[in-house]
Amino acid sequence: MTTTTKKAAPEAGEAEVRVRDLRVHYRINGTEYPAVANASLDLRRGEITGLVGESGSGKSTLALSLMNAVPEPGRIADGAIHVDGIGDVTTLSAKAMREVRGSALGYVFQASQNSMNPLKTIGKQILDLGRSHGVKDLPALLSRAKQLAERMGLDGNRVLDSYQHELSGGMRQRLGIVFALVLNAKVLILDEPTTALDVLSQSAVLKIIRQVHDENNLSTLIVTHDMGVVSELADNLAVMYGGRIVEHGPTLDLLRNPTHPYTKALIGATARIVGDPAAARALPGRPPDLTTIPRTGCVFRDRCVFKTDICAEDEPQLAEHSAGHRRACHADAAVVGPTTSKGDAS
């Protein structure tokens, strides 16, 4: 686990992004399958929201939906994604979305090198980004990119003159953040920002994310499967399973007192460097894929130790459990119970 110091959660700001009843479908062999089902989520100014779940849970699809960039054969089937100053991105034209992506909305991809042109230096790609968004003062844009890179511990002149293959994974990940913020984005979306990085690079990248987020008062979404990342960095946590948000609330509250069996199972499966390593327990069974997500009842029931007859018949809805804490589960929250110790969640 990394060693980034997590600041106390800031006062709740106005929601910069409001996702309401979002449904995203993928069409496979003539049949549509739900990748995201009726998801609602707010990204507030000055707050970092973590979106966590196993592979195939719908995290990246939800994140790409914020950019109206779900790849074929996927499509946004219903719902709204309202961004302050922009409107509902699901209704914008392709031209309008091109202007929004990379400017108001910044996205850092999981494999940052895949979003960089291997035939151009980083500096030339910054210039291309500026031209595509109508930036008039391109030298000033390069200067801002250099300053951002240097704030992230990089040699600005060197990296702007380099090709992506001449840079390490940690350097490319930091430059992904530069690309996302150089046009003054207010919403930052990071998809698995520490995947494939060594422990030291992970710590550096997470520290930079927190600093940049605080300095720019951003609305930040971090998509990850790593509970260690969200425990140190996120102010709020949304847990996804089978395309549904099954629990959402303040991070420390959810980690110390999970009220959904899936959240508790994820925490129990997290590797730890203190205490008994044998205490970690893998989740039973396999997560559903698009073709095996149950169409009725609770999507987690086949792997849940708390399931009852109603779980096969009635899908639980995300409802408030306590102030700021929502859950979608038929089981009594007291039965699910807290994690084994508060130290495991810190």
Same domain, 47 and 195: yes
Report which of 256, 261, 248, 201 is spatially closest to residue 221, judged by C-alpha positions: 248
Same domain, 164 and 102: yes
Looking at residue 4, its pLDDT comes to: 44
Report which of 114, 76, 106, 74 is spatially closest to residue 92, judged by C-alpha positions: 76
CA dihedral 23, 26, 27, 28 (to 10 degrees): -140
Same domain, 337 and 308: yes
Count of C-beta atoms within a 10 Å radius of residue 325: 17
Across 29-176, the runs of DSSP E, i.e. the strands, are 31-44, 48-52, 74-83, 87-88, 105-108
In a domain, 7, yes or no: no
Looking at residue 236, its pLDDT comes to: 95
Same domain, 138 and 155: yes
Domain membership of residue 159 as a residue range: 15-241
Looking at residue 152, its pLDDT comes to: 82
pLDDT at residue 5 tops 80: no
Same domain, 215 and 251: no
Report which of 18, 171, 1, 145 is spatially closest to residue 84, judged by C-alpha positions: 18
Same domain, 173 and 255: no
Same domain, 174 and 297: no
Q: What is the CATH number of the domain that holds 194?
A: 3.40.50.300
Looking at residue 173, its pLDDT comes to: 86
Among the ranges given (60-74, 163-177, 283-297), the one the predictor scored with the smallest mean pLDDT: 283-297
Average pLDDT over residues 248-264: 93
CA distance 137 to 87: 27
Report which of 80, 85, 76 is spatially closest to residue 103, judged by C-alpha positions: 85
Mean pLDDT of the chain: 87
pLDDT tens-digit map of 164-223:
999 988 888 889 989 998 998 999 999 988 776 777 777 888 888 898 899 889 999 999
In a domain, 5, yes or no: no
Same domain, 265 and 172: no
Same domain, 118 and 160: yes
Looking at residue 344, its pLDDT comes to: 42
pLDDT at residue 1 tops 60: no
Residues 6+ apart with CB under 8 A from 133: 99, 102, 103, 183
How many domains does the chain contain in total? 2
94: burial class by Cβ within 10 Å (0-12, 13-18, 19+)? Answer: exposed
In a domain, 9, yes or no: no
In a domain, 3, yes or no: no
Of 135-144, 189-198, 337-346, where does the model show the most confidence? 135-144
